[in-house]
Amino acid sequence: MTSRTDPADEWQFILQLQSRVISLLAKEAGYDAIQTSALHTLNDRMESYMEKLLQSAHGFAELANRHKPNYYDLTRAFTQSGVQLTSFGEYLQKLKADDHLQRLAPQPEASVKEEEKIPQFLPSDDEEEESDEEESTIPSYVPDHMPKFPSKHSYKQTPVYIRRPDDPQRVRELNSQQSRVVEENLKRLMSAENQLVRPPEPDGLDMMGPVVNYESAAQRKKRVKRAASSLHGPRRQISSSLH
């Protein structure tokens, strides 16, 4: 159960409240009426004054390492803005003694039911639904606006004890089962690697083999023999003349 109000309605209520306060202050000052333009100007001044006062109180709270201001932060903010607390207390007592003032009724807040979206975590709470029904109910001391408790596995720590079987036959079965699982995984891994490393299949042209021109090779051999014979002829003549 969460309560929400429309921001436009809330802002309109704040403006009405400020206009009421400014009208009372003007009446206390001796004015019988106030113009609309003057009322809007005083509304803006009052809004800026309250904003500055609250910012000052929040600054004092941050200096004291607090995220919310308390009574002492407000008193320091009043003193910094030039408001004497003694005169302010006398003014409040005077207002309480006035019977003509009417207290404003609190604005009714429309209660809107919102479906809380719980993220899908591990199904730890679904394993024992019957035993968890009593624990899932929110205690009476928890306020209604607080969210539900998260899943148990997010805040509970359970010890893990590995239970090993004592039966030798069961141990052998488990070992063989694990070895089969490892073997199958290795086969899958090796097949995947072979598919990645295997070279592409050759086309029809590659299957024919290299094309060799045998005629040019034979002619090349003949030229080499002729060159060799022409070199050996002069060498033989020189050696015979020397002898």
First to last CA, the chain: 129
Of the spans 102-116, 138-152, 177-191, which averages the highest pLDDT?
177-191
What is the C-alpha to C-alpha distance for residues 94 and 28, in angstroms, rounded to an integer? 12
Check residue 60 and give its pLDDT: 93
Please report the pLDDT score of residue 81 as a whole number. 86
Q: How many CB atoms lie within 10 A of CB 26?
A: 16
- Asked whether 61 and 68 are in contact (CB, 8 A), the reply is yes
pLDDT score, position 151: 79
pLDDT tens track for 22-31: 888 888 888 8
- The span from the CA of 36 to the CA of 43, in Å, is 10
Every domain of the chain and the residues it spans: 2-111, 168-200
- The answer to whether the CB of 23 falls within 8 A of the CB of 130 is no
87 band by pLDDT with thresholds 50, 70 and 90: confident
Q: Summarize pLDDT for 133-181 with one digit per residue, the tens.
A: 545 567 788 888 888 878 777 777 777 776 777 888 888 898 899 999 9
pTM value?
0.37
Say if residues 58 and 69 touch (Cβ distance below 8 Å).
Answer: yes
pLDDT bracket for residue 52 (50, 70, 90): very high
Distances (CA, A) of 110 to 2, 15, 119, 186: 9, 20, 27, 64
Residue with tokens 């036959």: 169
2-111 maps to which CATH number?
A: 1.10.20.10
Distance between alpha carbon 202 and the CA centroid of its chain, in Å?
52
pLDDT digits (tens, 9 = 90+) for 203-226: 555 555 555 555 566 677 777 777
In the chain, % of residues over pLDDT 70: 65
Q: Whole-angstrom Cα distance, residue 84 to residue 218? A: 122
